Amino acid sequence: MNSVGKLTLATIFLVILLLFACQANDLMFVGEGENWSSKVTVNQIDGYETYQMQINYKGQSIQDIEAFSYYVETKNSGVIGFSANNVSLNKEGIYQKDLPISNSPSTSGKDELVIKVEWNGNSEDFTLINK
């Protein structure tokens, strides 16, 4: 094999290797309780895992909720755990945030997440499952 053929073969190998190394995997966990619904998106790419959080208030009196807090964790393994205090809803009753945390990929589609929301002296827990 001549040097051009070896270079071409090496280039093809590197491109294939990069394609496999840059594979992205998105998991979407959704669930709802009586007053709230939530979606957590887990993005796995390049050996890291990042999270986007969305919480929706299902009630009619959005203006009555000045601030709320939430805590999310993996139901069985406890791998994921993040929270926020004193956050607020937008006019449509939605809280949305790209979370500034990053882990090595450890979340699987078989996991279940549990979210606890606290507001105005009330509390609600519900489970989020992968869809």
Q: What is the mean pLDDT of residues 85-111?
A: 86
Query: What pTM was estimated for this model as a whole?
Result: 0.77
Q: What is the mean pLDDT of residues 82-92?
A: 94
Indicate whether 105 pLDDT > 80.
Answer: no
CATH number of the 25-130 domain: 2.60.40
- All structural domains of the chain with their residue ranges: 25-130
pLDDT at residue number 69: 97
What sections of 22-101 are H helices per DSSP? none
C-alpha triplet 74, 78, 84: angle, nearest 5°? 70
Written as six digits, the tokens of 15 are 């491109």
pLDDT at residue number 10: 63
Q: What is the mean pLDDT of residues 9-22?
A: 57
C-alpha triplet 45, 47, 53: angle, nearest 5°? 55
Say which residues have a Cβ less than 8 Å from residue 78's Cβ, sequence separation at least 6. none
pLDDT tens readout for residues 67-86: 999 999 988 766 678 899 99
The H or E element containing residue 70 is strand 68-74
Q: How many CB atoms lie within 10 A of CB 104?
A: 8
